[in-house]
């Protein structure tokens, strides 16, 4: 079976190894830039999820991506600004924007365009392997960054979470099993995503999030990711205690994306 995660991480770590930027200097510069931003430039990713859950029983993080390593092209010519506006009109609470170009066809400019087209907080969906990735997310205007437990050792996970927090970014810490959940909790993660897709094979287990819900401690903001197709899936995950769902392929492939987001939430109020 293809080892997708291994290939993607190899490419990202190789790119990081040849990045000649001074890490300490870049972090210090970005800290200053973040400190100088007006409060109006910040969008609270976690607060938006909590509000969406309170208002409709579930929050939706709608994803913008052109392609997938396992599925191929989804919508290679999509306009991220138009898609973002459609998602917002449909009731999404937040956006997730793929910025990986080699494997997903995304770019940082996709995130900039999507964020500029609506008022929703935006997650930079990419494979974070070092502090420069977190800095880049802050500079491009992201409100949250993804940290994949399977891609990081404990030291990296803790330090990147701390840096994201310092730079005013939420960190969606992604896990796949109870061992990874324990590692996430050990570094203080409070926003935790359960990815139902195995990142090494890209197979989806639609029972994974339901099983993992039993291990989630009270007080977490829990997000179910991947394999979510319709309002029935959302209903089951809401009943299991999830605050939000992150949905990509189902929405990207939809002919009416605003209605597709609204449809995931069904008659919930």
> What value does the mean pLDDT take over residues 152-165?
97
CATH number of 4-265: 3.20.20.70
Rounded to whole angstroms, the Cα distance separating 22 from 226 reads: 36
> What is the pLDDT, as a whole number, of residue 204?
79
> What is the pLDDT, as a whole number, of residue 149?
96
Residue linked to tokens 């609204």 = 262
Catalytic residue among 55, 62, 65, 214: 65
Q: pLDDT band at residue 53, thresholds of 50, 70 and 90?
A: very high
Q: Which residue has the higher pLDDT, 92 or 4?
A: 92
Q: Does 55 qualify as catalytic in the annotation?
A: no
> What value does the mean pLDDT take over residues 100-126?
96
pLDDT of residue 51 exceeding 60, the answer is yes
Percentage of the chain beyond pLDDT 90 is 79
Rounded to whole angstroms, the Cα distance separating 257 from 166 reads: 35
Tally Cβ neighbours within 10 Å of residue 220.
18
> What value does the mean pLDDT take over residues 35-45?
81
Catalytic residue among 62, 159, 195, 214: 195
Q: Does 214 qualify as catalytic in the annotation?
A: no
Helix, strand, coil shares, percent, the chain, to 5: 50, 15, 35
pLDDT of residue 181 exceeding 60, the answer is yes
Catalytic residue among 62, 93, 125, 180: 125
Q: Residues 209-218: contacts with CB within 8 Å, 24+ apart?
A: 209/237, 209/240, 209/242, 210/236, 210/237, 210/240, 212/175, 212/177, 212/178, 212/181, 213/237, 213/240, 213/241, 213/242, 215/178, 215/181, 216/181, 216/192, 216/241, 217/185
Q: pLDDT band at residue 269, thresholds of 50, 70 and 90?
A: very low
pLDDT of residue 123 exceeding 60, the answer is yes
> What is the pLDDT, as a whole number, of residue 41?
81
> What value does the mean pLDDT take over residues 20-42?
86
Q: Which residue has the higher pLDDT, 152 or 266?
A: 152
Q: Does 174 qualify as catalytic in the annotation?
A: yes
Catalytic residue among 62, 93, 96, 174: 174
Q: Where are the domains of the chain?
A: 4-265
pTM: 0.94
Q: Does 225 qualify as catalytic in the annotation?
A: yes
Catalytic residue among 68, 93, 96, 226: 226
Q: What is the mean pLDDT of the chain?
A: 92
Q: pLDDT band at residue 205, thresholds of 50, 70 and 90?
A: confident
Catalytic residue among 225, 235, 249, 259: 225
- Summarised one tens digit per residue, pLDDT across range 2-28 is 467 788 888 999 999 999 899 999 999
> What value does the mean pLDDT take over residues 160-186?
96
Catalytic residue among 63, 93, 96, 180: 63
Q: Does 180 qualify as catalytic in the annotation?
A: no
């Amino acid at each position: 079976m293809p080892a997708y995660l291994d290939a993607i991480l190899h490419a990202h770590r190789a790119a990081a190894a040849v990045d000649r930027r001074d890490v300490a200097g870049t972090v210090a510069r970005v800290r200053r830039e973040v400190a100088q931003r007006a409060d109006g430039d910040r969008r609270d990713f976690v607060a938006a999820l909590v509000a969406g859950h309170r208002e409709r029983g579930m929050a939706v993080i709608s994803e913008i991506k052109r392609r997938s390593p396992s599925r191929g092209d989804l919508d290679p010519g999509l306009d991220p600004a138009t898609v973002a506006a459609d998602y917002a009109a449909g009731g999404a609470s937040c956006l997730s924007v793929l910025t990986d170009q080699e494997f997903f066809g995304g770019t940082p400019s996709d995130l900039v365009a999507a964020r500029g087209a609506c008022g929703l907080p935006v997650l930079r969906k990419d494979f974070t392997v070092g502090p420069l990735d977190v800095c880049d997310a802050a500079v491009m205007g992201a409100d949250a960054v993804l940290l994949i437990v399977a891609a990081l050792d404990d030291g990296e996970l803790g330090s990147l979470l701390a840096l994201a927090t310092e730079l005013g970014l939420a960190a969606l810490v992604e896990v796949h099993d109870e061992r990874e959940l324990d590692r996430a909790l050990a570094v203080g993660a409070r926003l935790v995503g359960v990815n139902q897709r195995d990142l090494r094979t890209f197979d989806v287990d639609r029972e994974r999030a339901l099983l993992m819900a039993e291990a989630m401690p009270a007080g977490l903001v829990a997000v179910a990711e991947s394999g979510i197709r319709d309002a029935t899936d959302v209903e089951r995950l809401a009943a299991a205690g999830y605050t939000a769902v992150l949905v990509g392929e189902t929405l990207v492939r939809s002919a009416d994306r605003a209605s597709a987001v609204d449809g995931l939430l069904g008659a919930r109020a």
